[in-house]
Chain A
């Protein structure tokens, strides 16, 4: 099983719909992140969490919200999806105690039509 699991892998949704992307990890890491990836723009940080009660905005948080339900789970919600939120979304984890390298999930490809 993957260390960082994202569901769903692919999703097509309509403009205006609410959608949730889920991330769970078995690495025991305390820190979790959500990034989006667009062609030619690299990875941009949406939200991050350093512990269960800690939520921080990233570079591009507008239109998104997150919930850290447990140390192992971090979900990303699009309250009212719009077409320019069509992108690849990645969840990542890191351990504050042992290093700073991120472990990434396999991504969710979201298309808003």
Chain B
């Protein structure tokens, strides 16, 4: 069947590089943001979240940056590995549910 990765923006990096995936969100009133990773044939998996009263949050090898002025969210992955290859989605809490972005495909070559 057709992959969900088709028609998506794609970021190609070499193993060991740092990756930055960007997301523009739509609602200035959104108060909570999440990054998800979706591997082929699987459901999205939670990576990291950030509340709107923060501008940076770090996890293991991942950092999320939030710029509310321009409604921009980014996910930084340090020392990218082949296992990081996937589609990455940002999501914003707009009211009582999450609204997802269209996604970015990350391809990591060894």
Contact = CB atoms under 8 A, between A and B. Distances in A.
B43 interface: yes
Contacts of B100: 35, 42-44
Given A37-B4, A48-B97, A42 B102 contact: yes
Contacts of B98: 45, 100, 102
The interface size bin for chain B is: 20 to 34
Which of A35, A102, A109 has the most chain B CB atoms inside 10 A of its CB?
A102
Contact of B4 (A88, A104, A111): A88
A103 B6 contact: no
A40 interface: yes
A34 to B, nearest CB: 11
A43 B7 contact: no
B42 A102 contact: no
Contacts of A111: 1
B68 interface: no
Interface of B: 1-8, 32, 34, 41-46, 49, 89, 93, 96-103
